[in-house]
Structure 1
Amino acid sequence: MKKGGFSVEHGWADSAASLSQTLPTNTWDLVITDHNMMGFSSSDALKIVKEFDEGIPVIIVSGAIGEEVAAEAMRLGVHDYIMKDNLTRLIPAIRRELKQNENRQARLRAEAHIDYLFSYDSLTGLTNRQEFEKRLHVLVRASKNPPRQHVLMFLDLDQFKIINDTCGHIAGDELLVQTTHLLKRHIRNQDTLARLGGDEFGIILEDCPQEHALKLAERIRSEVKEHRFVWGDKPFAVSVSIGMVKIDQHTKNHHELLSCADLACYAAKDKGRNGITWYSEDDAELHQRRDEMQWASRIKQAVEENRFTLYFQPMRPLSSAYSHSPHGEFLLRLKQDGRLVAPGAFIPAAERYNLMPLIDGWVVNNAFRYLAESGLGNAREGVYFINLSGTTLSDKHFFEQIQDWLKFYHIIPQRVCFEITETAAIANLINAVDFIAETREKGFKFALDDFGVGLSSFSYLKTIPVDYLKIDGSFVKNLLADPIDEGIVEACNRIGHAAGLKTIAEFVEDDPTTHALARIGVDFAQGYGIATPAPLQEYRRKR
């Protein structure tokens, strides 16, 4: 072997006992064994080697071994056999086996690494979400008989995105590693700490009463708050929001458990962050948030499955000056389980989870398509209203989408009037003014919806460039019965006309109200007393 170029370190064994003693003394690359020794055969040696380390190659070197015996040895795991009168084969055989063993070890290391990644987070070394959910599932089943109580804790770092965005992902990763070390100090051997993704951590506290779990959560919250994360000589204040839920014999499954803990965590964030919320079935606020979370997933699915549908509600001109110009508004409905759902059921959830640009995009795209196919988008007259949310005004890419759809559908922009609520416009004033100005430059019109709710904001009309004022329906409904409401409607109409805007009254429900609005001088009326919303197909047939 030395002549063959190997640097050899070897051990010698001539019995089962001496082989068992020699194997643990080193990290062996290869075992070469005779076939027949006094009271100790190659099959005995092979069995001992395989029990010690199945990956060590074994080569038999024998003076006399039959073909059948050699074949049986190979079947049992011998890698090669060489006759003593043909030792020139030994060196090539050793090289081959060492190379193959190296490849086997590399494959085993790769498989072990894959197995590790399958269960552990590569950055923090903590259990990952998949393994965490697996353990949670086992614990939920085991908690039923005999009854046991555990606690699930869901943690979310409050300032992680700021640090990630301002200092980069390396800083964010370092914060996660430091947080991991901090959390490890607070858990017992039987507990499970995991990184669930991004800046989210989970802890399973086994056999833990609620009182102890809450004290532990408070210690964690306090220590994270006191921790000062420094990056590039710049210190950052860090805090954590924690949601908690008990695990007992009444727990249905681990999916519901995670949902409840997640819900409680986000409730803690809503209350100002750096807090702890314990999930309770009787908490009305948490139930509302759960409904919103469920709606959030339904909304995404509805967009993917094209289950939204457009309705249309015509407006009536109250002055002969506008009788030649049809006006109307596109309204949104959602098809859910064979019924139509009004926007009031899902818009709050869409706003909370920043899904309004997704919904508004669907509405604008489909409204433009209808205007193009019906010919209304290229008619000489007419204005058709499309609602936009306040969050959409902050989406920098939405204006570009509108321009793309305008080119694609070849409609006249003057036929479209986007409308936003007064409160949304004021809340997003800078973004709203920029968005409206850019959009109006292209020829689109704008309306301010629900006008009059915030009377102190009348001065904003000098800042927000719009074409229409839609007087809030809460004043219009009681116009005939309440002199104050009548005065507010008159004031809104007068201010709108003074600003050079057309006015629209909402929630008009009967003819007497319509006549009163015409007397006041309002330009258009909209409501169930004028026309009920109908599917676009019906409106097209009536035209």
Structure 2
Amino acid sequence: MLQDKYFHNQAMQRNGAIAPEKPQKFLGLKWKVLLLSSLILIAIVVSFTGITYLSLMDDFESQRNAQHQRYAKEVEGLIDQVSINLHQLAGLIPFLEGMDKSLLSGNKEYVTQAFDPYWSPLQLNKGIELLRFYDSSNQQLAGWGTSQPNTYDALMSAWVHEVNAQEKPMSHLSCPTSCMQFAVAPLLVEGNNVGVIVIGTPLVDVILGFKDISGADIALLVREKGDLPESNKVKIANWDVTLAAHSREMNITVLDEVAANYPDLESLEEGILVSWHDRHLQIKPLFLERMAVSEDGARFMVVTDITSTIRTIHSSTQQNMIIGVVGLIFSEILLFIILTKPLSRLKHIVFTLPLLARSSFKNFRLELRSAGQKRWMKDEIDLLDETAVALSHQLEKLEDQVADRTRILASKMDELSKERDFINNLLDIAQVIVITQKADGEILTLNAYGETLIQYTEKELQGTPFLHLLALDGNLHDLPVHLEEVRCQRRDQLRHEANVVCKDASIRNILWLHSRLTRHSEDDPAMLSVGLDMTEHKRAEGRLAWLADHDPLTDLFNRRRFQEELEQMLNLAARYGYSGALLFFDLDQFKYINDTSGHQAGDALLKMVARLLLGNIRSVDILGRLGGDEFAVILPQTTAEGAIEVAKNTLASLNQGKITINGRTHKASASVGIALFPEHGSNVHDLLAAADLAMYQAKEAGRGGWHLFSDEEKTRERMHTLVYWKEKIEYALSHERFLFYFQPIMHVRRRTIDHYEVLLRMIDNDGTVLAPQFFIPAAEQTGLIHAIDHMVLRKSIAQSAEIQRAGQCIRFSINLSAHAFHDPELLPILKDAFAEYGADPSNFMFEITETAALEDLPAARELMEMIKKLGCSFTLDDFGVGFSSFYYIRQLPIDVVKIDGSFIRNLADSPDDQILVQALCDVARGFGKKTTAEFVENAATFSILEKMQIDYAQGFLIGTPSPAYDTSFSDFAKM
């Protein structure tokens, strides 16, 4: 506010409107930017310098740690080398002149006399400080070298006992007063152990060698013990240690000063940095594994000169700081130069803007004279100038409009009143419950729909707590707390479901949405509650859930739920060790009832069968409809005899049931397959397969009977084979694993390819192409043959349509299975496929065998005539095999007969076959049918057929079957 006043006064002063007064404190944007940027740059420079310094120190520390580890390895290596040298020396001593005889004698004087000449050279040249000879009885024979009394005697005695016992050399490092490396080795003379030699040398060579290798100073500290005599070594009192050995260049005064500042020697484990006469030193103990297990308290202390590294780090840090400060100063100067002119223009605009608040639009535009100036390149401030001028025009126009709109405000109030009435009416007619609540949770208002639904009036509910309407259960125990959170503005919305108790005590399921309302007074509502009636929706959900597990026609369990129940029953049987049975029912002649009396009769029969089955089973038994005319019953805790008894009683009851539809009476009959668990299967898949196979065996033995699954090898093998091929066929159908092959059929007289026979193959999992004889029998027994027929028809029709659109006219001959004439979906699928793909039906011939029409000749003839009306034609396959072929050629609407290949294969060499084929041709020609000869494999056979005026020829001579992707569908094939 002070700044606005200041801007306003400045502008008025320019116009001479008011007398100048003392301005308020003001800091320009330019200086604020410079100050803030300076602080940011300073923080960046300081942070960068600090991070760089810390990074350099971390790297330095890492390098020092790695170097310290190398120091430890070097010292260990030097000690190991000393030990190796001592053992080599111990091995050479028995070979010195006179030593072998003296050692064998075991006489102390002989040993002393023999070795005494060698002691001085060893002491001077090898640095040996102590040497002892012991016999095999652990008694000392001779000794050289001086040491404090009892310093090493007890230790050497223990070592000698151990080496004499094991006859193995040993190495020891002992530091009671000064560290010495000992080698204890057995004395072998002429292959016999005559005693032990102990050789000891101080670690002076290790100290000197370390200095030569690493360049760092090292000292050996040994802790003084009260029971040892005073030595002439240098002592460091604060650490209670003696300086046993050290590098020649080491300054002992440094260790004294460090000990004074760090009296606890253990505090130096991580190492310290000290300054000493303009030098930087790192002092750190060097721990060795062989000293860690020693009780002597000896340790090495390494002093490393790191002056050059520390100075380099300090120099780098100072350099970074100087570069940062110079960059800061340069950036500030550059930023000041860049911001001066634009911010001056911006300041002018800011000081002029208060004129808009005074409605001095013309004065404002005069002050912004720069807005009309043209610049060769505009920036944001130029746009701000132009926008401010445009804003002044707009505000001036709006100010004029405000006066006009004020006059019509009164009329608008009437419109608002009407809108309020509209909203109130909308709330009343909305198909949701609308309730407003006070801050204490009491109901304030209720809309008309809510009154109708819950049968309470608004007046009856006013002042009643909202929770009293609900039927609270265990799931809603937190609801009062959540509602209070909405009313107290701790949450905006709450969504939940709850049952509402209506006035007539009925229950309705309501989905509630509670929203917090903005309050301007204590009497205003605090929360809006909108309820959507979900009662019918919940009922529909319940019905759908029921339908997911039940068959809607018979109210029995469907296949999915039945399999779940069967799996649970199998698990219980396995857990508690009891047995049970599965009965698989398949109605006999059910398709015939559907075809003759319609699906209404079939549905009535299924309902009756369901009632009869329920009447013949126990309450603990489980009944389900698996689909179509298949039912199944689970009999827990029963035997084979019990299951057979239930099957017999059920079949007898079914035989008594009958229905009459449209004047026709139909009786119920079924074939029952029985499988026991766990004897015949421990899982749902195997048990259903066993019961299904048993049912098929019951049908083969005669309808209306039962069959108990057998564990005989042939039956078991047959079941597994059927299950195996059923799974393969289902997988092939769902994953497009079927493949079409096409074999050309030639018009003999024209010698051109007239049409192609469509042959089906199946691709196995390993890529093997399987012929129909491998999977068609299993498909027929498992009921999958219809699905294969449908797939072949649809794909063949689609292929023909594609060829037809490419401008070619190719006819296909398709084999129909014997089961196709019992498929009510065959004709509708043909019609739909021809309509969908736009293929010409006259391009299709269907091959049938006499077996296909044998079961129901009238029905087969009727279906064939309906297919012929579409424009298709028929071929009778295997013509001449039986005399019944002549009957079918007269009874069925056949266009072409295909002479069986057994008559054609040896035609050129068999006069009898020539006579028979000629007769078959004459008979077919007499009925007006064309003829096809298959298995034409050589030119001689083709020549004879041509003389017999056979119409079509098929065989390897004409062309071998080839996959669809390799078939060119050539119009002509020359001989």
- Aligned mates of 1:465, 1:315 — CA distance in 2: 21
Specify the code of the residue in structure 1 equivalent to 2:565: R
Would you say the 8 A contact 1:388–1:418 is kept in 2?
A: yes
- Aligned mates of 1:495, 1:211 — CA distance in 2: 59
1:533 Cα deviation after fit: 0.8
Which segment is superposed worse, 254-263 or 159-168?
159-168
Q: Secondary structure at the match of 2:898?
A: strand
1:435 Cα deviation after fit: 5.9
- Aligned mates of 2:892, 2:662 — CA distance in 1: 42
Q: 2:702: which partner in 1?
A: 272
Describe the superposition over 1:435-468 as per-residue Cα deviations: whole angstroms up to 9, x where unpaired.
6666667765543322111234325434545443
Would you say the 8 A contact 1:360–1:389 is kept in 2?
A: no
Q: Secondary structure at the match of 2:507?
A: helix
- Aligned mates of 2:720, 2:687 — CA distance in 1: 12
1:244 Cα deviation after fit: 1.1
- Aligned mates of 2:475, 2:720 — CA distance in 1: 60
Q: 2:831: which partner in 1?
A: 400
- Aligned mates of 1:227, 1:434 — CA distance in 2: 31
Q: 1:494: which partner in 2?
A: 922
Identity of aligned residues (%): 30
- Aligned mates of 2:691, 2:639 — CA distance in 1: 16
Match runs of 1:160-199 below 5 Å: 162=593, 165=598, 168=601, 171-172=604-605, 174-176=607-609, 178-184=611-617, 187=618, 190-196=620-626, 199=629
Match runs of 1:299-310 below 5 Å: 299=729, 302-303=732-733, 305-310=735-740
1:276 Cα deviation after fit: 0.8
Distance 1:421 1:232, change over 3 A: closer
- Aligned mates of 1:153, 1:272 — CA distance in 2: 17
Q: 2:801: which partner in 1?
A: 369
User: Is residue 2:776 matched to residue 1:347?
Assistant: yes
- Aligned mates of 2:600, 2:482 — CA distance in 1: 59
Distance 1:359 1:120, change over 3 A: closer
Match runs of 1:450-489 below 5 Å: 450-479=878-907, 484-489=912-917
User: Is residue 2:671 matched to residue 1:238?
Assistant: no
- Aligned mates of 1:385, 1:73 — CA distance in 2: 73
Would you say the 8 A contact 2:801–2:838 is kept in 1?
A: no
User: Is residue 2:824 matched to residue 1:419?
Assistant: no
Distance 1:242 1:480, change over 3 A: same
Specify the code of the residue in structure 1 equivalent to 2:678: D
Give the number of aligned pairs: 451
Describe the superposition over 1:186-216 as per-residue Cα deviations: whole angstroms up to 9, x where unpaired.
x2x6544445556544333333222232233
1:245 Cα deviation after fit: 0.8
Q: 1:312: which partner in 2?
A: 742
- Aligned mates of 1:123, 1:435 — CA distance in 2: 29
Q: 1:532: which partner in 2?
A: 960
User: Is residue 2:934 matched to residue 1:506?
Assistant: yes
- Alignment partner of 2:565 out of 105, 111, 135: 135
1:151 Cα deviation after fit: 1.6
Specify the code of the residue in structure 1 equivalent to 2:776: I
Distance 1:56 1:469, change over 3 A: closer
Q: Secondary structure at the match of 2:950?
A: coil
- Aligned mates of 1:470, 1:124 — CA distance in 2: 48
- Aligned mates of 1:233, 1:329 — CA distance in 2: 46
Q: 2:507: which partner in 1?
A: 102
Describe the superposition over 1:79-101 as per-residue Cα deviations: whole angstroms up to 9, x where unpaired.
xxxxxxxxxxxxxxxx9765798
Q: Secondary structure at the match of 2:937?
A: coil
- Aligned mates of 1:170, 1:483 — CA distance in 2: 60
Q: Which has the higher contact order (CA 8 A, sep 6+)?
A: 1
Q: 1:34: which partner in 2?
A: none
1:384 Cα deviation after fit: 4.8
The RMSD of aligned alpha carbons is: 4.7
- Aligned mates of 1:445, 1:121 — CA distance in 2: 41
Q: 2:270: which partner in 1?
A: none
Would you say the 8 A contact 2:850–2:888 is kept in 1?
A: no
Distance 1:322 1:131, change over 3 A: closer
Describe the superposition over 1:281-300 as per-residue Cα deviations: whole angstroms up to 9, x where unpaired.
43757865775576566556
Describe the superposition over 1:89-129 as per-residue Cα deviations: whole angstroms up to 9, x where unpaired.
xxxxxx97657982359799958877766666677676555
Q: Secondary structure at the match of 1:257?
A: helix
Specify the code of the residue in structure 2 equivalent to 1:135: E
Q: 1:387: which partner in 2?
A: 815
Q: 1:40: which partner in 2?
A: none
1:365 Cα deviation after fit: 1.0
The higher radius of gyration belongs to 2
- Aligned mates of 1:195, 1:131 — CA distance in 2: 10
TM-score under structure 2 length normalisation = 0.40
Would you say the 8 A contact 1:356–1:389 is kept in 2?
A: no
Describe the superposition over 1:488-519 as per-residue Cα deviations: whole angstroms up to 9, x where unpaired.
22221232344444432212334444444445
Would you say the 8 A contact 1:357–1:398 is kept in 2?
A: no
Q: 2:761: which partner in 1?
A: 333
Match runs of 1:247-262 below 5 Å: 247-248=677-678, 251-262=681-692
Describe the superposition over 1:250-305 as per-residue Cα deviations: whole angstroms up to 9, x where unpaired.
73412321232233234323443211111234375786577557656655664554
Which segment is superposed worse, 114-123 or 526-535?
114-123
Q: Secondary structure at the match of 1:397?
A: helix
Would you say the 8 A contact 1:147–1:248 is kept in 2?
A: no
Residue segments in structure 2 that go unaligned for 5+ positions in a row = 1-470, 485-498, 511-534
1:166 Cα deviation after fit: 6.6
Q: 1:150: which partner in 2?
A: 580
User: Is residue 2:650 matched to residue 1:220?
Assistant: yes
Q: 2:791: which partner in 1?
A: 359
1:478 Cα deviation after fit: 3.9
1:539 Cα deviation after fit: 3.0
Q: Secondary structure at the match of 2:959?
A: coil
Would you say the 8 A contact 1:140–1:248 is kept in 2?
A: yes
Would you say the 8 A contact 1:243–1:264 is kept in 2?
A: yes
- Aligned mates of 1:541, 1:198 — CA distance in 2: 42
TM-score under structure 1 length normalisation = 0.66
